[in-house]
Amino acid sequence: MSRVIPVFKPWVPEWLIRLSLLLVILPGIILFSLSISNVSASAGYYGISPNDAQFSMIILYAATASFVVLEKRFFRNFASKVYLLISVLLMVTTCYICYNTHTFFLLLIFRYIQGMLTCTSLSITLTLMFSRLHSERSKEIGYSVVYCVLLCVSPLSVLFTASIIDSFNFNVIYKCAIYSFLPGAILMCIIMNNVRLDRKLPLYRLDWAGFVIYSASLCLIGYVMIYGQQYDWFDDNRISLSVAAIVLLLSIFVVRQLFSKRPYFYIQAFKSRSFVLAALLLFVFYICRGSFGITTSYMGSVLGIDPINQGYLLIYNLAAIVASVTIASRYMLRKKPLRHILIYGFTFLLAFHVYMCFVFSAQVDTESLILPVILQGLGAGMCMTPIILFIISSSPVKYGNTGSAVGIFMRFTGFCSSISLINYFQLYRQADHASRFHEQLSVLNPVAVQKLTLYKQALTGKGVAPDQAIKIANGLLNKNIGVQSQLRFAVDYYQVISWVLLAMILVIILFPSKKPAVINLGANQPAPVVY
C-alpha cells in the first residue's frame, strides 16, 4: 500500500504555511491596481494619457477573466510545486521586462501576460489555502481571506507606492514587485513537497479558439469603455467598429458555448432566477465601489492631500474592510439569511455616498473624512464575499465553473462601466456647472466682485503691480470655478449612485423567495479561482 505524500513537509508549522500563502497571493493581486495607484505618475513616465494608464490595467483584468477556465487544464497537468515556481518565475520575468520598457504597446503585451500568470499563481495558492482549513468551512473562510486581500489592494497600493513614486521613477514599482515575489516563492520551495493535487489531465482539445474570441471581446469592451468618451463615442469609427466587433465576437462565443462539449460557461445557468440576481448584484456593486475613486481624487486635487497622507487616511478603510469581512464570514458560517447581510452592506455604501454629498467642499479637515472612509470599507467588505459566494452557490454543480466565469465577467464589466460613467459625468456635468458659474460672472454680481477685490488686495499687498494683480485675480477666480464645478459633479454622481443603491436595497427586500437564501458551498461545489 503506497503512502500518501503530504503537500507540505511534516515539520512545517501551520502559521508558516499560511504566511507563505499570503506572501504569494499579495504581490500578484497588487499588480492589478499598479497602473492606477498613481495614474499621473504612470502617464508621465510612459508619455501616455491617463486613459492609457487605465487601459493597461483593463488589459491585465481581461486576460485574467478570459484565462480563468482554461487555466484549470494546465493546473492539472503539473505538480503543485513546479506549477507555482514556474508561475512566479514567469511573473518576475514579465515584471523585469515592464521595468525596462518605455514603449506603451510593449507594456500592454506584458501586462496581458501578467494577467494570465496572476491567474495561475492564485489558482494554486487558493487551492492550497482551502486544503489547510476545516472541510465544513474551508471555502467560506478561503474566499473571505482572498477577497479581503483583494478589497485592500487599492488602499495598500497607495500606501506602498506613494513614498516610492515620490522618490523614484514610476518603473521602480516593477522592481519592487520583483522583490516582493521572492520571499513567498522561496518559502514555498522549501516547505512544499512536489506532489499533485489532482489527477493528471493531458493537455489535449484545449478550446484555444474560445479563449481567443472571449479574450478579444473583453479587451474590446475595455477599449470602448475607456476611450469612448475621449473619441466622442459613435462619432468615431474606432468606437463604432469596436462595438460591432464585440457584438459579432460575443455572438460567436455564445453559439460555441451552446454546442460545445466543454464550454467556458453554461448559458443554461441563467435560467436560475437567483443566479441572475447574483450577477446583477455583483455588476451594480462594482459600479458603486468604483465611485470611491472620486473621493480619493477629491482628496488630492481639491484638498491637496499628498498620496502619502492619503495612504495614512486609507488605513481606516483597510481596518473597516477587515472588520466587515470578518463579520460577514461569521454570518455566512452561522447560515444567516443572505438577504440580511446584503442589506447591511448596501446600507453602509448608501450611507457613505449620502454623507459625502454633504462633505464635498473646498475646505474640509482630514478628520471629517475618517467616518465616510470607514463607511465605505464596511459596505464593501460586507457585500463583496457574500455576493460572489452567492453567484457560485446559486450555479448548479453540474455547470462546473460557470459561477466563477460569470462572476469575473460581471466584475470586469462593472469595473469598466464604472470608469466609463465617471468619465461621462465628469465631462458633461462638470462642463455644465462651469458654464453656469461663468454665466453668473459679471460686474453686476456682488459675490464675483467681492472675490476679485479680495484676490486683488491680497496680491497688491504682496507687492504685485495693480494691472498684473487684476490678471492673476481673474485666473484665481477661474481656478476656483473649476474646483466648484468638480465638487458639483462629485455631488451629482454620488446622488445618482445613492438612488441606485436605494433601488438595489428595495430589490433585495422585495425579491420573492420561498425560503431564506443562505450561502451553502457544499463539499461537491467547485472551488474555482475567482477575482
Cα 326 from Cα 151, distance rounded (Å): 13
Q: 152: which 3 cell numbers?
A: 485592500
Q: 414: which 3 cell numbers?
A: 462593472
In the prediction, which pLDDT does 208 show?
Answer: 78
3 state DSSP class of 381: helix
Cα 298 from Cα 303, distance rounded (Å): 7
pLDDT at 340 over 80: yes
Q: Which residues pair with 192 in a beta bridge?
A: 8
In the prediction, which pLDDT does 523 show?
Answer: 45
Q: 397: which 3 cell numbers?
A: 454543480
pLDDT digits (tens, 9 = 90+) for 223-249: 998 888 878 788 888 888 989 999 998
In the prediction, which pLDDT does 351 show?
Answer: 92
Say if CB 91 and CB 114 are below 8 A apart. Answer: yes
pLDDT digits (tens, 9 = 90+) for 394-407: 776 666 667 777 77
| Span of 222-226, 315-319, 522-526 with lowest mean pLDDT | 522-526
In the prediction, which pLDDT does 348 show?
Answer: 92
With cut-offs at 50, 70 and 90, classify the pLDDT of residue 455: low
Query: Mean pLDDT across the stretch 37-61?
Result: 79
Cα 74 from Cα 77, distance rounded (Å): 5
In the prediction, which pLDDT does 147 show?
Answer: 73
pLDDT at 449 over 80: no
pLDDT digits (tens, 9 = 90+) for 253-281: 888 878 777 777 777 777 777 788 888 88
pLDDT at 447 over 70: no
Q: Which residues contact residue 408 at a Cβ distance below 8 angstroms, ignoring those fewer than 6 apart?
A: 64, 65, 68, 530, 531
Cα 251 from Cα 126, distance rounded (Å): 33
Largest CA distance in the chain: 97
Q: Is the torsion defined by CA of 150, 372, 483, 231 positive or negative? A: positive
Query: Of 148-162, 284-298, 416-430, which has the strongest mean pLDDT?
Result: 284-298
| In 151-224, beta strands by DSSP E | none
* Other residues' Cβ atoms within 10 Å of the Cβ of residue 137: 14
Say if CB 391 and CB 279 are below 8 A apart. Answer: yes
3 state DSSP class of 187: helix
pLDDT at 91 over 60: yes
pLDDT digits (tens, 9 = 90+) for 25-47: 777 777 776 656 667 777 777 77
Q: 503: which 3 cell numbers?
A: 433601488
pLDDT digits (tens, 9 = 90+) for 343-379: 889 999 999 999 988 888 767 777 888 888 899 989 9
Query: Mean pLDDT across the stretch 503-531?
Result: 60
In the prediction, which pLDDT does 136 show?
Answer: 55
In the prediction, which pLDDT does 440 show?
Answer: 60
In the prediction, which pLDDT does 36 show?
Answer: 62
pLDDT at 156 over 90: no
In the prediction, which pLDDT does 477 show?
Answer: 60
Say if CB 498 and CB 351 are below 8 A apart. Answer: no
| Span of 129-143, 237-251, 322-336 with lowest mean pLDDT | 129-143
Q: H helices within 78-169, ranges in order?
A: 80-100, 104-131, 138-151, 153-167
Cα 312 from Cα 286, distance rounded (Å): 24
pLDDT at 499 over 60: yes
pLDDT at 135 over 60: no
Q: 274: which 3 cell numbers?
A: 437567483
pLDDT at 183 over 80: yes
Cα 192 from Cα 60, distance rounded (Å): 29
pLDDT at 134 over 60: no
Cα 190 from Cα 20, distance rounded (Å): 10
In the prediction, which pLDDT does 433 show?
Answer: 59
Say if CB 492 and CB 279 are below 8 A apart. Answer: no
- First CA to last CA distance, the chain: 40
In the prediction, which pLDDT does 528 show?
Answer: 42
Report the candidate in 62, 165, 45, 42 with the shortest Cα–Cα distance to residue 111. Answer: 62
In the prediction, which pLDDT does 527 show?
Answer: 44
pLDDT at 4 over 60: no
Q: 151: which 3 cell numbers?
A: 478589497
Say if CB 52 and CB 46 are below 8 A apart. Answer: yes
In the prediction, which pLDDT does 529 show?
Answer: 45
Query: Mean pLDDT across the stretch 118-138?
Result: 71
Say if CB 402 and CB 260 are below 8 A apart. Answer: no
Cα 164 from Cα 175, distance rounded (Å): 11
In the prediction, which pLDDT does 502 show?
Answer: 92
* Other residues' Cβ atoms within 10 Å of the Cβ of residue 483: 14
Amino acid type, 507: V
In the prediction, which pLDDT does 524 show?
Answer: 41
Phi, psi of 179, deg, nearest 5: -70, -30
State the chain's mean pLDDT as an integer. Answer: 77
Q: What is the CA radius of gyration of the chain?
A: 25
Q: At what angle do helices 367-394 and 307-333 cross, to 10 degrees?
A: 40
pLDDT at 3 over 70: no
Q: 435: which 3 cell numbers?
A: 458654464
